[in-house]
Amino acid sequence: MREYLLTLCVSAAVTYLLTGPVRKFAIAAGAMPPIRARDVHREPTPRLGGIAMFGGLCAGLLVAAHLSNLSSVYKLSSEPRALLSGAGLIWLLGVLDDKWGVDALIKLGVQMIAAGVMVFQGLAILWIPVPGIGTVILTPVQSTLLTVALVVITINAVNFVDGLDGLAAGMVCIAALAFFMYAYRMWYGYGIEQAAPATLFAAVLIGMCLGFLPHNIHPARIFMGDSGSMLIGLVLSSGAISITGQVDPDAITDFTGSTRETVHFMVPVYMPLLLPLTMIAIPAADLVLAVVRRTWRGQSPFAADRGHLHHRLLEIGHSHSRAVMIMYFWAALIAFAAVAFSVTSSSLWIVLVIVALSAVGLVVLLLPTFRPHAPRWAESVVPPRYRRRRRRLKAAAAAAEREMRNPDPAERPALNGATAIGDRPRLPERPTAGSGQSM
């Protein structure tokens, strides 16, 4: 675990430190496209954040190659090199698209080529494990088509959801964290050596997202662009491909003791082939809805619009930050629920917890104007918008400002008899000689 944490921290640190210089380079290179009709940000923001994320990927894989335990992954498998080859190709495509723009069909073609390069170097689904039946071996053509489809769908799912500050990086980070827990348990809990590359890919991906998020949270100082969104989508799909079709269910049955337990454990393996990824079910659903919506209107499936899930959250009244947190919540609920099902066969309590959390999520989703506030003892550790004292002071300052800007003297509250702006309060008259009052 320490070597995985070291790899994660190195990837996060390199990504974080590179993002600042990359932002300056993007501004100098003119990679700041004007605001489009579907955008939600108000000021032009530089892209090319994927350059820093690619640097974090390379640094994480380089450090892992020199660690005592993780170096065995490079000796026993060619998957890290295959990932780096496909990632380099897809990253270069993203950089060109962020700077000059690339046609959608060309991007789709290069995505398929990048997936084909990984398949050629050994990163592919070789068979589909079926508990009770055994392994269904795929032909080379079937393996290539299934792998390419999974890569392309995952890349575009992450790319489609990248519409709010911090949304794509946070959701992929949550997915990678859940996937890391599953792959790490399979590797060290069950001794399945084929899960080692997927565990490494997930750790590096978590570091890439964590290192970029501080620069990308609302208001974002830089966007990851297609160079970043397509890159993290490819890395996430590579982990799913690496662990799917490489694990023999009969080997797991030796530990679980029954086929039924094996089926429960293998649930997150089959889900990625169907959704295509349980870990990014929300982006995948958004992708399907976008394709259906645009096709129904007679548009190209790649034509951009403002009908994504995060856009709908903004339209019903949620703030930018709350819309992102709601998407985080549902992504985490689905991802960690799938991992929980693989841990235990006693699924009743898992179902009850999921139902309770879903009810809480629906309440927050349907109450866009609700703003929770923290107790006074916790105000020092929560964001300022959740502090009651700060909100009261802000409201009082806003009321005072409105009062000073009010041009109608009749609506100004009188102060000791003053009825107009600039009038001084009336003071008691001083007695003078001859006024009939004693001195």
Contact by Cβ (8 Å): 162, 224: yes
Mean predicted confidence (pLDDT) in 254-263: 58
Residue 162 annotated in ligand binding: no
Residue 226 annotated in ligand binding: yes
> How crowded is residue 213: how many other Cβ atoms within 10 Å of its Cβ?
19
- Quickly state the pLDDT bin for 207 (edges 50, 70, 90): very high
**385-398: pLDDT as tens digits:** 556 655 566 666 77
Relative to beta strand 134-137, strand 127-130 is antiparallel
**DSSP-assigned letters across all residues of 152-209:** HHHHHHHHHHTTSTTHHHHHHHHHHHHHHHHHHIIIIIH--GGGHHHHHHHHHHHHHH
Give every CB contact of residue 201 below 8 A, 6+ residues apart in sequence: 83, 235, 238, 239, 242
**44-74: pLDDT as tens digits:** 788 899 999 999 999 999 999 999 889 888 9
Distance CA 368, CA 321 (A): 12
- The better pLDDT of the pair 342, 391 is held by 342
Give the pLDDT score at 374. Answer: 64
Mean predicted confidence (pLDDT) in 152-176: 86
- Quickly state the pLDDT bin for 349 (edges 50, 70, 90): confident
Give the pLDDT score at 2. Answer: 87
Domain boundaries, the chain: 2-342
- The better pLDDT of the pair 302, 45 is held by 45
Mean predicted confidence (pLDDT) in 293-315: 66
Best mean pLDDT range from 5-19, 24-38, 283-297, 337-351 = 5-19
Mean predicted confidence (pLDDT) in 343-350: 66
**119-141: pLDDT as tens digits:** 999 898 887 766 556 567 889 99
Give the pLDDT score at 422. Answer: 45
Give the pLDDT score at 104. Answer: 85
Best mean pLDDT range from 139-148, 263-272, 423-432 = 139-148
**Residue written as token pair 């879903």:** 358
Distance CA 120, CA 101 (A): 28
What integer best gives the mean pLDDT of the chain? 77
Q: Is the pLDDT of residue 8 over 80?
A: yes
Distance CA 420, CA 423 (A): 5
Give the pLDDT score at 248. Answer: 58
Contact by Cβ (8 Å): 279, 176: yes
- The better pLDDT of the pair 139, 427 is held by 139
Give the pLDDT score at 95. Answer: 94
